Amino acid sequence: MIVDSALYRNGRRSEAAEDLSVALDEARTTGDAFLWLGVFEPTEEEFDHVSRKFALHPLAVEDALKAHQRPKLEVYDDSLFVVLKPVVYEAAADTVTAGELMVFVGDSFVVTVRHGEGAALSAVRHRLEQDPEVLRHGPTAVLYAISDSVVDHYIDVAAELQTDLEELETEVFAPGSADTKNTASRIYTAKRQLLEFRRATGPLLQPMERLAFGNVPFVDEYARPFFRDVADHLTRANESVEGLDRLLSDALSAYLAQVGVRQNDDMRKISAWAAIVAIPTLGAGIYGMNFTNMQELDYRWGYPMAVAVMVFLCLVIHHTFKRRGWL
């Protein structure tokens, strides 16, 4: 359950005591240290030990265990609870998968709870450990680094989705695209992936703005400009998502319009050929009645003349439809 646990004193990592209470007391006693505990998909029994040691609020603990939460920011008496949804783009399948990352921030501790493989924090922790000046600012620095990493990855995923959309647009306007159902299926799949992406980026803007402009406990005032930068990046990501959604809707409309035009063309061709076939059908119907007083039946050239007239009329109608673009 516990992926990593470390005590950071004056920006430098040191191993924390195995007993969480002892490690937390040590961090609070020194004043210039904090404890960062990383947890991955804990069970209720496993996380109960952690929640009791850090005095985490029961409602926040319940959200952290059940997952499937919207991005949000909750302030409790002894801690700050932030929910983030990191996303992963799988190029092979052109899919967007969202994980969940819960961050508890207290006076001298940070507890991160991950759900899903897309929420790995090892790179963030390693980068912070290479910059002690940032880590000296305590739990606020960790919350900022995690938020910044998640939001920056949103922009990368948006760029990948933009590339996929350009390929879709090329496919939509390619000749014969209206003859296949695969194009429509890809558009609908892209819409679903974009919806999953929007669920991660959209609700997060309000929590980031609270951190950037509000007076939030357990977050140092000096960090507000940094969270404003994260909020700006998140706004860019949301604008990209909105733009991609509009372009996908336009691509779908263009595809459906092409299908409609193609169907109209097919109906005109069918109608034109039906009109051509109707002429010999009419002639065969008239002469098939076998009336004895039909004078042309006694002519030597009556049959060739009837066939010639039908062929001529068919050619005239065919030429007319061809000139009008129906054939």
Mean pLDDT across the chain: 85
- Report residue 83 as tokens: 């929910």
| Helix 44-54 with 58-66: angle, nearest 10 deg | 150
What does pTM read for this prediction? 0.78
CA geometry: angle 43, 81, 219, nearest 5 deg: 140
pLDDT(176) > 70? no
pLDDT value of position 73: 94
Say yes or no: 23 and 163 in one domain.
yes
Whether the predicted pLDDT of 320 surpasses 90 = no
Q: Is residue 118 over pLDDT 70?
A: no
Cα–Cα nearest to 64, from 84, 93, 92: 84
Does residue 296 have a pLDDT over 70? no
* Same domain flag for 171 and 285: no
Distance (Å, whole) CA 88 – CA 153: 8
Pairing mode, if any, of strands 87-90 and 95-98?
antiparallel
The pLDDT of residue 280 is above 60: yes
Same domain, yes or no: 209 and 275: no
- Average pLDDT in the 109-122 region? 83
Specify whether 255 is located in the same domain as 275.
Answer: no
For residue 74, is pLDDT > 80? yes
Residue 281 sits in a domain of what CATH number? 1.20.58
Mean pLDDT value of segment 111-131: 85
pLDDT score recorded for residue 112: 93
**Consecutive H or E run containing 6:** strand 2-9
What pLDDT sits at residue 205? 92
**Are 327 and 272 contacting, i.e. CB atoms less than 8 angstroms apart?**
yes
Shared-domain flag, residues 289 and 318? yes
CATH number of the domain bearing residue 155: 3.30.460.20
Q: Which of 259, 279, 307 is the last residue of a domain?
A: 259
Rounded-to-integer distance, Cα 144 and Cα 289, Å: 92
275 plus 218 within the same structural domain: no
Report which residue type is found at 53.
Answer: K
pLDDT for the residue numbered 61: 92
Residues 316 and 205 in one domain: no
Which residue range forms the structural domain that includes residue 32?
2-259
Angle (CA) 151 154 156, round 5°: 120
How far apart (Å, rounded) are the C-alpha atoms in residues 88 and 98? 6
Mean pLDDT of 182-210: 87
Percentage of the residues of the chain whose pLDDT score is greater than 70: 94
pLDDT of 261 reads 78
200 and 288 fall within a common domain = no
Task: Quick: pLDDT tens for 3-20.
Answer: 888 888 888 888 877 888
Last residue of a domain, one of 259, 276, 298: 259
Task: Verify that 236 and 273 share a domain, yes or no.
Answer: no
Domain count, the chain: 2
Q: Which of 238, 259, 280 is the last residue of a domain?
A: 259
Does the structure show a pLDDT above 60 at 39? yes
Residue 127 has pLDDT above 60, yes or no: yes
Which pLDDT does position 104 carry in this prediction? 95
Q: Specify the pLDDT at position 307.
A: 82
C-alpha 115/C-alpha 67 separation (Å) is 7
Q: Both 190 and 72 in a single domain?
A: yes
pLDDT confidence of residue 177:
56
Same domain, 160 and 97: yes
Q: What are the two backbone dihedrals, phi and then psi, of residue 284, each rounded to the nearest 5 degrees?
A: -65, -35
pLDDT tops 70 at residue 179: no
Per-residue pLDDT reduced to its tens digit, 258-267: 778 777 887 8
Model pLDDT, residue 144: 94
96 and 145 belong to one structural domain: yes
